With several copies, the nearest count.
Chain A
Amino acid sequence: MKQMFTPAKIKEDFPIFKKVMRGGNRLVYLDSGATSQKPFAVLDAERDFYENHNAAVHRGAHLLAEEASLAYEGAREVLAEFINAQSDEVIFTKSATESINAIAYSFGNSLPNSRFALKPGDRIVVSELEHHANLIPWQQLAKRTGAELVWFSIDDDGRLDLSDIKNVISETTKIVAITHQSNVLGTIVPLDSIVDRAHAVGAVVVLDACQSAPHFAIDVKTLGIDFLAFSGHKALGPTGVGILWGRAQYLNEMEPFLTGGSMIESVTMTEAKWAPAPKKFEAGVPNMAQAIGLAAAVKYLTKLGMNNVAQHERELTAYALDKFAALQGVKVIGPKDNVNRGSVISFTMDGIHPHDVGQVLDQYGVAVRTGHHCAWPLMKKLGLVGTTRASFYIYNDEADVDALIASIGEAQKYFKV
């Protein structure tokens, strides 16, 4: 299998790698943690929809509407298969951010006697690793309902401290919302004990899979979680589409979030009844082209094989961690070993602010992200203003890592540190 995985060949599927960067350099794209690049297959799928089948789905009695509906519902099936779910459990949103907000608002909208209703004394559990998208919606839900927000801390290596799990996930806990992989440190969170404990106290587990679903195989049944969210744009897909998955049983019991057309069973001037999921959660004309583009993206990934993707990234991360270990004045933040960690490497440099690091790297065509990475509480916990983050994906190879390491050297020269 391994020899099939040739990033140089994969790069040819991605038009952006023809781009000439500052200083006449080639693009060394190490910012897939923020958003991934898009292969022709995805761009062509979107375009084919617009050029040959564009119509509002579930409406209209004409051929285009039929074809659009089949393509859109077909995309749902592809996504369901990708995470081993039933297709009526898969909801297209605009982003992971919307997916997580949808769960939080849906819970907030539920009637007092519902299992999803929160009240003072109830608890929501998150962790210090969370991206703002999996933190602020829960802060707000806690504020609206009077529930208490509690979190797992991290240790010096950026691993979750689960030693106190029984107290953190107390008997009063209703929701545990946790990231699968830290977008800053690469830490992969051990889910089994969290899921077990959450279910033991009757809480649901919401998984932020933004940094995992694009990078390794996800099976919602094996994970045992209750809800999952990820963004299409980080998984080779178009912007403007995300996935919300929830157990059918819960989706059926939940109140909708956005209301409007196509999500109803019946409507009068004063009352509306809801259609069954997934429609209940997809008000309005959906992001059809984007859903179809995302389906093309996960087909592309599936053809590569998610296990091959994961293995490739693991090997590349090992290679990079070795190179980093040999650098002077550069510190990797987060797990330094290559166990239970993804292909994200955050680092700081003595005497150079991350923003300046990023700027020098850009001069060499190396695209990284700098700052707090929308995980400000984590930065504060680590005592940092920010980090520089390199994140790898299917199109990266050792030459990209070498370019990164070389440009780090240039930054040190430039800033004379």
Chain B
Amino acid sequence: MELDSLYQEVILDHYKNPLRKKLEPNYSAQVHHVNPSCGDEITLNVDVVEGKVKSVSWEGVGCSISQASTSIVSDLMIGKSVDDALSTVDAFSKLMSSKGTEAGDENILEDGVALAGVSKFPARIKCALLGWMAFKDATLQSLNK
């Protein structure tokens, strides 16, 4: 069933038990992102210290894809250098626009590869990207401070 390529077990797990879903009081930037076509919203805090992502935390409402994806990106980025983090976001964006032709590099994206199937469902790509774009935005804002 096509559905199974979208809703991998990993995703449903993250959805039921999202990681880092509690805003940390310390952050270098806070962003609020919305998916205007479905109404999903998240607030995401990033704390960048000395060129490294020290913490990522978030709050928000959304579908399983956006919640799981935000959970995945938040956990994945902690400890990475900003450069490394941003290129990881790029790798994920590329995967999302692959129309199902790519599987994603598990060394780079870790649990993120479970979202590969989303790229076959154009309407859901925005859901998967919500958290990643929020993270990117917050990280860039941190740099500009």
Classify A-B as touching or not with yes or no (CB < 8 A): yes
**Which A residues are within 8 Å of any B CB, using their own CB?**
22-23, 58-61, 65-66, 69-70, 262, 264-266, 275, 352-356, 359-360, 363, 370-372, 376, 379, 385-386, 414-415
Report how far A66 CA is from B34 CA in the complex, Å: 20
Pairs of residues from A and B, 7 with the lowest C-beta to C-beta distance, nearest first: A355-B63, A353-B63, A371-B38, A372-B39, A363-B3, A385-B61, A386-B39
Tell me the bound Cα distance from A275 to B36 in angstroms.
Answer: 8
Closest to B61 in A: A385
Is the beta-carbon distance between B36 and A355 smaller than 8 angstroms? no
What is the interface of chain B, defined by CB distance below 8 A to chain A? Answer: 1-3, 6-7, 12, 34, 36-41, 61-65, 67, 121-124, 127
Q: Could you say which of B63, B67, B127 has the most chain A C-beta atoms within 10 Å of its C-beta? A: B63
- Is B122 in contact with A353, judged by CB distance below 8 angstroms? no
List chain B residues, Cβ under 8 A from A359: 3, 6-7, 121, 124
Known: A266-B34, A275-B36, A355-B38. A22 touches B7 (CB 8 A): no
Residues of B within 8 A of A386 (CB): 38-39
Give Cα A23 to B41, complex, Å: 31
How distant is the Cα of A353 from the Cα of B7 in the complex, in angstroms? 13
Q: Residue A370 contacts which of B12, B38, B41 (CB distance < 8 angstroms)?
A: B38
Cα separation A264 to B39 with both chains bound (whole Å):
11
Contact B121 A372 (CB under 8 A): no
Report the minimal beta-carbon distance from B96 to chain A, rounded to whole angstroms: 15
Q: Do the beta carbons of A372 and B63 come within 8 Å of each other?
A: no
Q: Which residues of chain A are within 8 angstroms of B127 by Cβ–Cβ distance? A: 355
Q: How many A-B residue pairs have CB under 8 A?
A: 69
Q: Can you identify 5 A-B contacts, CB atoms within 8 angstroms? A: A61-B123, A65-B123, A352-B64, A354-B38, A355-B63
Instruction: Add 4 more A-B contacts to A69-B122, A353-B64, A385-B39 (CB < 8 A).
Output: A65-B123, A353-B67, A356-B65, A372-B39
Is the CB–CB distance between B64 and A66 below 8 Å? no
Known: A70-B122, A355-B127, A359-B121. A23 touches B38 (CB 8 A): no
Q: Taking CB as reference atom, which chain A residue is nearest B62?
A: A353
Smallest CB separation, A355 vs chain B (Å)? 4
Measured CB to CB, the closest approach of chain A to B106, in angstroms, equals 25
On chain A, the residues within 8 Å of B7 by CB distance are 356, 359, 414
Contact of B37 among A58, A363, A379, A385 (CB under 8 A): A58
Bound Cα distance from A360 to B65, whole angstroms? 13
A23 partner residues in chain B, CB cutoff 8 A: 1-2
Nearest chain A CB to B76 CB, angstrom units: 22
Cα–Cα, bound, A233→B122 (Å): 23
Instruction: Give the residues in chain B near A353, CB-CB below 8 Å.
Output: 62-64, 67
Tell me the complex Cα distance, A112–B140, Å: 31
C-alpha gap A355/B36 in the complex (Å): 13
- Whole-angstrom CA separation of A396 from B30 in the bound complex: 47
Q: Are B37 and A59 in contact (CB under 8 A)?
A: yes
Q: Is the CB of B36 within 8 A of A266?
A: yes
B63 touches A360 (CB 8 A): no
C-alpha gap A54/B40 in the complex (Å)? 26
B63 contacts which chain A residues (CB < 8 A)? 353-356
Complex contacts, B1 vs chain A, CB 8 Å:
23, 363
